[in-house]
Amino acid sequence: MTLLSLENAERREYNFLSSFVLTLARNMNRPFLLIAACLCVLFLFASVQAQEEPRSPSLDDVQTRAEVMDYLRRERTQIDRSTGGSQRHLALADLYFAVGDKLLEIATTDVETANAYRQKLTGFFFHMVEEIEGAEQRMETFIDELDEKGHHGIAELGRFNLFSLKAEKTGNSPENFEALQSELHTWVNRGIPFINVMHSGLTLARRNRVPAEQFLARLLEYVQSAECTLSPTERTRAVERIEREIETERFSQFRQRAMTAEVSPENFNAFKSEFKTWIDQGYFVFMVAPVGFDVAQKNGMTAEQFVKEMVEYIRSPQSSLPSDRKEPTIAQLEAMIRLAVGSDPKLYGRTLNNEIFNWESLRGKYVLIKFTATWCGPCKAVIPDMLEAYTKYRDKGFEIVSIYMWEHDSNPVETVKQHVERERLPWIILSEELTKRAGHGEYRESYGIGGVPTMVLVDKEGKVITQLRGETLQTRLAEIFEQK
């Protein structure tokens, strides 16, 4: 039985029993029976409410690592939404210490134990942020204990976190960062995951008003030098990561220029020329295309028209995109049109009960479409906002459709069912697995999905009105439903 049908059954039980008891009391015409009847009704009502809105399990109730991490996500979201400032950091520290202890309690492998210690290190991090008296000494003692227990990698990670925290508290200036950057390079040789070192350095560079590309160029120079002791394989991977980060940084600058440029034929033509260079170098289409759609719309061109022009370019001799990449790139661009502003997604699929989903039945409602996966952390992080929005606006004409895709375990349908039950999701759920079994193609191919979560908001006519990137769902829905 689905959650919604279960809730309806509980309501019917409540209505029947309360009606029966009240009728009995009236017929008996005795005051004490009427009082008893009222108490019964209140008890039944409280029981139904408890069933409809169950409390989340406590940390004592959960038994598996997955359940503990789900608990951590829910509690962190609640803390982030309800507290701020010092109280938030202290609450988060307590949460991570408790989660770390629980994970240690149930750990059965070295990997699980290491993960538990990482959570506890995060707790110390929040105490350090608040500069609690003795926090640094306690963290150093904990790190030494990790070394004594043989967890040298986690201990080094803790020391690196201490370095990063202290570095963030130094005076911000390019001169100070010069000294920090030299010290940062030494951590590359100490077994710290390279991605951690790079991202920490980027954070420090921005704090010290040092251009990201300048920092990355210096880091690349160091990694390629004789001073760097990474193995040949590690060095190759590090170089690839730096080069990709440099490319990402340049793309961010391109997007910023494109979105803030004044609307004019000259600027639009310049944008299209630069857009073509990103296509030619094979940058992620799912990142480039939305920028193109947005700028085209600002300049009075539909997504279809913009893609048609880009397709003509890709197929022309002027495009330097490798020939074996041309048609796949075109296919993804054309698929992404279906989620562009002004388009009708014509959503299809099968529900978890293997029933055919009827997109047309949602005409007249605003619909949030979310492409998601059970294993995706960012997908889970937005669930509380979605639940709040659904509760607030469903009676005003709002609906949600979550499409679960890229589930690669042995029983993907059951995995999604368990996830939906655990999260108590009351809206429409579609399964890519069941949809494929029914003879349909993958959503990645049909809609050009490059990552999850991908979310779009559709109006009453079934047309996409926005892609939710950086813009909160609550803000957009408030504009629709609360300003009428």
* pLDDT, tens only, 213-242: 999 999 999 999 999 999 999 999 999 999
Least Cα distance to 115 among 99, 132, 136, 131 occurs for: 99
What is the largest distance, in Å, between two alpha-carbon atoms of the chain? 96
Asked if residue 104 has pLDDT above 70, the reply is: yes
The model's confidence at residue 57, banded by pLDDT at 50, 70 and 90, is confident
Measured at the CA of 178, the angle between CA 174 and CA 183, to 5 degrees, comes to 145
Q: Which pLDDT score, from 0 to 100, does residue 484 have?
A: 57
Distance, in Å, from the CA atom of 176 to the CA atom of 170, rounded to the nearest integer, reads 8
Distance, in Å, from the CA atom of 321 to the CA atom of 397, rounded to the nearest integer, reads 45
Distance, in Å, from the CA atom of 14 to the CA atom of 46, rounded to the nearest integer, reads 10
Mean pLDDT score of the chain, rounded to an integer?
Answer: 87
Residue 214 CB coordination number (10 Å): 13
Q: Given the DSSP bridges, would you call strands 366-372 and 398-404 parallel, antiparallel or unpaired?
A: parallel
Q: Which pLDDT score, from 0 to 100, does residue 8 have?
A: 42
Tell me what the mean pLDDT of segment 67-88 comes to.
87
Tell me what the mean pLDDT of segment 252-257 comes to.
95
| Higher per-residue pLDDT: 49 or 146 | 146
Task: Render pLDDT for 136-186 as a digit per residue (tens, 0 to 9).
Answer: 999 999 999 999 999 999 999 999 999 998 888 887 888 888 888 888 899
pTM for the full predicted model = 0.76
Helix (H) or strand (E) holding 155: helix 152-168
Tell me what the mean pLDDT of segment 419-444 comes to.
95
Asked if residue 7 has pLDDT above 50, the reply is: no
Q: Which pLDDT score, from 0 to 100, does residue 348 have?
A: 96
User: Could you check whether the bond before residue 412 is cis, i.e. omega within 30 degrees of 0?
Assistant: no
Distance, in Å, from the CA atom of 195 to the CA atom of 103, rounded to the nearest integer, reads 25
Q: Which pLDDT score, from 0 to 100, does residue 266 have?
A: 97
Task: Render pLDDT for 312-339 as a digit per residue (tens, 0 to 9).
Answer: 999 999 999 999 999 999 999 999 999 9
Task: Render pLDDT for 258-288 as a digit per residue (tens, 0 to 9).
Answer: 999 999 999 999 999 999 999 999 999 999 9
